[in-house]
Amino acid sequence: MAEIKSVGIIGIGSYVPETILTNEKLETMVDTTDEWIVSRTGIKERRIAKEDEACSDLAVRAALKALEDANTKPEEIDLIIVSTITPDFAFPSTAALVQDRIGAINAAAFDLEAACTGFVYGLVTGANFIATGMYKKVLVIGSEALSKIIDWEDRNTCVLFGDGASAAILGEVEKGYGIISYDLKAKGSGGEFLDQPGGGSRNPATVKTIENKMHFLKMKGQDVFKFAVTAIPETINNILEKTDINIKDIELVVPHQANYRIIGSAAKKIDLPVEKFYMNLETYGNTSSASIGLALDEAIKKNKIKKDDYIIMVGFGAGLTYGSCLIKWSKEV
């Protein structure tokens, strides 16, 4: 077996649709207030895809930016992984649609479904193909058009989510850099806390499933909240235990952007100042698979990350899934 290679992010990009939906506008749509949304979640606005804009359209735009950032041609990509819970279609995969659209003529392509943990699942999965020496470049995308599966009459969910996409190119990096530890977990017993019950093979789409609004996202918010505040510290401790790196050595944590209260509670539990958690949920809301990459891209552009920094990415969400990865940043920024 060939020597295991070090794998890191060599390029990143993101894209959000133009249309901004503010809390003030939501006040005119459902029985809610800007004050409630901001105090309970931290979200002020989110982006909404156009009627004719689907998951792959957002994914392609993010992917092209990541390719440019990595100075990589589409034909150099060996594999495309798209993490999404809002694919264009049940099949073909959104990854295959992206493969065609960006001209990645040599790439394999598949979708990955781990909801809000999907970006971390995708990075770890993609990295292993490169670590073995079998592939050289992998494109990992988190893309969501969540507005298409939101019940715009349900105030419990419609104020939380937004649309967007982020993409990372993985490649071999200097020894000792890149992904140095990871932890992926699932707790399927909590699947009913966050789901889209209609439209699959359990409840195929019928007039009745539509009438019962089963094609919309459903969430038991408090159950997911309770899960998240223990899942984040657990998975971060798991990745640190596998290394000799201490929590105090971490320069930045890029968490899934669901709720500033969840992030605040997790920060306390792992004894890291909340300022070390990068947050942009105020402007994009919860974009599920896209959120960690969107935050990472923004953090890089704001010079919050430099070469040699230890960065943690951590996600949690439907499945239930959770997980994290620790990266020693290798790219000069």
* CB closer to ligand UT7 out of 99 and 259: 259
84 binds ligand UT7 (CB under 6 A): no
Question: Does the active-site annotation cover 256?
Answer: yes
Catalytic residue among 55, 280, 286, 325: 286
Among positions 20, 32, 149, 245, the unique one binding ligand UT7 when judged by CB under 6 A? 32
Residue with tokens 């890149």, as numbered in its chain: 178
259 binds ligand UT7 (CB under 6 A): yes
How far apart CA 217 and CA 295 sit, in angstroms, is 23
Using alpha carbons, select from 312, 289, 286, 83 the residue that is nearest to residue 183: 312
In a 10 Å sphere around its CB, with 0-12 CB exposed, 13-18 middle and 19+ buried, how is residue 28 labelled?
exposed
Cis peptide before 87 (omega within 30 of 0): no
Using alpha carbons, select from 200, 205, 201, 312 the residue that is nearest to residue 252: 312
Query: How many angstroms separate the most distant Cα atoms in the chain?
Result: 61
286 binds ligand UT7 (CB under 6 A): yes
Cis peptide before 326 (omega within 30 of 0): no
Residues 132-171 close enough to bind ligand UT7 by CB under 6 A: 155-156, 159
How far apart CA 195 and CA 85 sit, in angstroms, is 10
Q: CB 160 → ligand UT7: shortest distance, Å?
A: 6
221 binds ligand UT7 (CB under 6 A): yes
41 binds ligand UT7 (CB under 6 A): yes
* CB closer to ligand UT7 out of 40 and 101: 40
* CB closer to ligand UT7 out of 198 and 317: 317
* CB closer to ligand UT7 out of 155 and 276: 155
Indicate the helix (H) or strand (E) that contains 202. Answer: none
> Do 287 and 294 form a contact (C-beta atoms < 8 A)?
yes
What is the contact mask toward ligand UT7 in residues 90 to 119, using x (rule: CB under 6 A)?
A: --------------------------x---
Residues 12-31 close enough to bind ligand UT7 by CB under 6 A: none
228 binds ligand UT7 (CB under 6 A): yes
Among positions 5, 27, 36, 151, the unique one binding ligand UT7 when judged by CB under 6 A? 36
Q: CB 203 → ligand UT7: shortest distance, Å?
A: 21
Question: Does the active-site annotation cover 116?
Answer: yes
Q: In the β-sheet with 138-144, what is the strand arrangement from edge to edge?
A: 7-15, 164-172, 138-144, 79-83, 108-112
* CB closer to ligand UT7 out of 132 and 283: 283
262 binds ligand UT7 (CB under 6 A): yes
| Angle at which helices 34-41 and 260-270 cross, to 10° | 20
* CB closer to ligand UT7 out of 104 and 116: 116
Hey, how many other C-beta atoms are within 10 angstroms of the C-beta on 304? Answer: 18
Catalytic center residues: 116, 256, 286
User: Contact residues for ligand UT7 (CB under 6 A)?
Assistant: 32, 36-37, 40-41, 116, 155-156, 159, 194, 221-222, 224-225, 228, 258-259, 262, 286, 288, 317
